[in-house]
Amino acid sequence: EPDKFLTVASELRKRFFQTYSGLESWHERCREDAKRKGYVDSYFGGRRHTPWLRYKGEDVDKSRWSNYMNLVLNSPVQNFEAVTIYDAMAKIDKAIKKEKMRSTLRFNVHDSLGGYCKKDEQKEFHHLLLENAEVHGKYVVPLTCEVKYGDVWGFGKELKL
């Protein structure tokens, strides 16, 4: 059973990098830059210092080195996500005020936004969220949204429009 899992995981990874062909070379550039410079920059200018990558001695175990390499890839992605979600929140808030809606955007948790939506504004709010949070054609990977409604955050159901 573990062999089957690894086979499926390997195939998914292969298809992912075929679909987003620019990411694999970006991964390699990030790793090499971090090893050479001792830091990695994000798209929006955030910088994660990684001085331990400038020295790889006999004392560094493979597991720790692998974790460092993952950090090099995750840091720019996490910074990108944070800036992007804050930008979307500002746009959504501005649109809510412009439309004089009673629904509100209240919080974000990682890559999720949460708020309170009045039932009679659900369709308008739904479209407003998508218009102000989704980004297509600007980056290598499209930024898409999934909108769900429920009584408690995290337990929503997708609205069929």
Interior CA angle at 36 toward 32 and 41, to 5°? 70
How far apart CA 19 and CA 8 sit, in angstroms, is: 16
| Structure confidence by residue, pLDDT tens digits, 76-91 | 999 999 999 999 999 9
Amino acid at 145: C
pLDDT band at 3 (very low <50, low <70, confident <90, very high): confident
| Structure confidence by residue, pLDDT tens digits, 25-35 | 989 999 999 98
Q: Are 129 and 145 in contact (CB under 8 A)?
A: yes
Q: Quick one: average pLDDT of 6-17? A: 92
Q: Quick one: average pLDDT of 135-146? A: 82
How far apart CA 160 and CA 145 sit, in angstroms, is: 14
3-state SS record for 68-80:
HHHHHHHHHHHHH
Token reading at 116: 């309170």
Q: How many residues does the chain have?
A: 161
Residue partners of 125: CB distance under 8 A and separation at least 6:
101, 103, 117, 118
Quote the crossing angle between the two packed helices 62-98 and 22-37, to the nearest 10°: 120
- The mean of the pLDDT values for the chain is 87
Interior CA angle at 127 toward 151 and 122, to 5°? 35
Q: Are 148 and 157 in contact (CB under 8 A)?
A: yes
How far apart CA 107 and CA 116 sit, in angstroms, is: 10
Higher pLDDT, 21 or 94: 94
